[in-house]
Each structure stands twice: as C-alpha cells, then as structure tokens.
Amino acid sequence: MSTASKCRQLTLAILKPHITKVPHVFQNVRNCIIDNGFQVVKSTRTTITKHQAAAFYSEHKERFFYNRLITFMCSGPSEVYILARKDAIRTWRELMGPTKVYQAVYTAPNTIRANYGLSDTRNATHGSDSVESALREIEVFFPSFDYEKWIVEDEPYFSSGKVQFDEENFVHRALKS
C-alpha cells in the first residue's frame, strides 16, 4: 500500500457496538472522520460474526481479554469503513487516541477514545496500525475489495478531489464522467 506520496493511504476503521447504539455519539465520530479530511472508500454496518472476530483478533488469541473482546465485538452492529487520505493510518490513530481509555483521558483528552471509550475492550474504535495490517483487516470485512484495482481506477479521483460524498450511505464516490 506504500505508493507515491501523492496517493491516498488506506486504513480500516471500526466504530464499535456501543458507539453505533448512541445516535449523537455515532454522528459525532462520523463528523470527526469527515472534518479531518478522510474520504470513505467503503462503508458497511454489520454485526461481526465470531468467525470474523476470531480472524480479525487472531494475534490476541492467547491474551486474557480475548474472549471478552470477541464477545463484545459480536454483541451488536458495528460500522466498518475503509478510510483514505494522505497518512491515513497515523492520522486515524491520533484521532482515536491511546488504546487504554484511562490513559487516553489523561494524555489525549480530546480524542475519540477519551471522550467515548468505556473500557480497554469497549474503547470506541479500531484502526489499523500498519499498511500490512490495513490490507489484512480490509480483507476480513471487504473480501471483494481489490486494492490494486482501486489504486489504478479510483485513487486518482480521490487524490484530485473528484469525488462526491453520499451522506446517506456515508461513502465517497469517484466522479468518473
């Protein structure tokens, strides 16, 4: 995913179940995404299956919080997005704040997790931590998304601003005609 610097970088973002249940909080986080210059390449609302959650969080399988995390992530609908912008991974992670909500409250009080996180498991959002993770995570939730095809066919429109925001579906569409 490391392409020329003019290209948009992609990251996966998840708004966790407790966020999607509270309309004003949900809208505030969505506004934060758009207000910080992200373009939404793909958007879906889904209740994550145990199979998806297990694949997604496989690196945590031996950790003490794994079962609690899987149970929570499957407890209700989440919003899952592919976000694009220059330096998307770093920027989204900065907006989210530290993973540990207690730490976020004291060290990054204006972040999403500081404002809307409830615990380390219910920390409001997820964001990819690297280009490699982003590609792997996107595959879990958007298996038909073809990154190479997107780079060739759609990314130039996103980089040049030739996109239109579909607010109802919370996605940007390339204006190809």
CATH 3.90.105.10 at 9-96+127-160, yes or no: no
pLDDT in tens, 20-32: 999 999 999 999 9
pLDDT in tens, 133-164: 999 999 999 999 999 999 999 999 999 999 99
Backbone φ, ψ for residue 54 (5° rounding): -65, -40
pLDDT in tens, 83-97: 999 999 999 999 999
- Secondary structure (DSSP) of the chain: ----TTSPEEEEEEE-HHHHTSHHHHHHHHHHHHHTT-EEEEEEEE---HHHHHHHTGGGTTSTTHHHHHHHHTSS-EEEEEEEETTHHHHHHHHH--SSHHHHHHH-TTSHHHHH--SSSS-SEEE-SSHHHHHHHHHHH-TT--HHHHHHHTHHHHHHT-EEEETTTTEEEE---
If we measure between CA atoms, which residue out of 169, 72, 79 comes closest to residue 127? 79
If we measure between CA atoms, which residue out of 137, 120, 28, 129 comes closest to residue 80? 137
pLDDT at 60 over 70: yes
Domain boundaries, the chain: 9-96+127-160
pLDDT at 5 over 90: no
Calculate mean pLDDT across residues 3-9.
66
93 is annotated as contributing to ligand binding: yes
Q: How confident is the model at residue 39 (pLDDT cuts 50, 70, 90)?
A: very high
pLDDT at 3 over 70: no
Q: How confident is the model at residue 6 (pLDDT cuts 50, 70, 90)?
A: low
115 is annotated as contributing to ligand binding: no
More confident residue, 72 or 7: 72
Residue 33 contacts residue 83 (beta carbons within 8 Å)? yes
Q: How confident is the model at residue 119 (pLDDT cuts 50, 70, 90)?
A: very high
99 is annotated as contributing to ligand binding: yes
Count of CB atoms within 10 A of residue 122's CB? 19
Round to whole Å and give the CA distance between 80 and 19.
12
Catalytic annotation, residues = 126
Round to whole Å and give the CA distance between 130 and 136.
10
56 is annotated as contributing to ligand binding: no
Rounded mean pLDDT of the chain? 94
If we measure between CA atoms, which residue out of 77, 74, 4, 87 comes closest to residue 43? 77
65 is annotated as contributing to ligand binding: yes
21 is annotated as contributing to ligand binding: no
